[in-house]
Amino acid sequence: MYQELLWPREKGELYPLLEARAAALLEGETDPIANMANLSALLWQAVPELNWAGFYRAAGEELVLGPFQGKPACVRIPWGKGVCGTAAKEKTPQLVPDVHAFPGHIACDGASRSELVIPLLSREGAVIGVLDLDSPRPGRFTQEDLEGLLPVARLLTGEDPV
């Protein structure tokens, strides 16, 4: 059973604790939708200054909205479009300090100013989805956030996300 926790604000303390809590929360559950739902809720509680935390799942030539926390979002994103579609197509995390400066940014929530997207890869290397975090604060996400969240995202796939 999940118990509420006061989350540290120092990233060096936050991310190891977040990874441990996420691993415990997902332990024994094999349903990917349930795990994405719980992980998006955990991220929403733990990571400060977010206005959206969730997942898009790969479906053919596009990403389809998965479990999330935040305002209603775009339902379908073509591969290569916006920050999420670019992360999926390139199989590379996208750390965007100012979404308005990102070519082709898709504004699902006009309040979003910075974004961090981590592609989720199957064991065979295929993109199965992306973890998407948005913030209303420009420059909110750093390399330290990316490195702290990579192991958390990996819990969904059993492999290292790129």
Task: For residue range 43-65, list pLDDT tens digits in order.
Answer: 999 999 999 999 999 999 999 99
- The amino acid present at 13, given as its one-letter code, is E
pLDDT of residue 109: 74
Collapsed DSSP state (helix, strand, coil) of residue 145? helix
pLDDT of residue 144: 96
pLDDT of residue 107: 77
- Residue with the two structure tokens 């990874």: 19
Q: Which residues of 114-139 are buried (b: 16+ CB within 10 A; e: fewer)?
A: bbbbbbbbeeeeebbbbbbbbbeeee
Q: What global pTM score does this model have?
A: 0.92
pLDDT of residue 159: 60
pLDDT of residue 155: 94
pLDDT of residue 160: 47
- Residue with the two structure tokens 């979002």: 73
Q: Which residues contact 81 (CB under 8 A, 6 or more apart)?
A: 104, 106
- The amino acid present at 28, given as its one-letter code, is G
pLDDT less than 70: residues of the chain: 1-5, 159-162
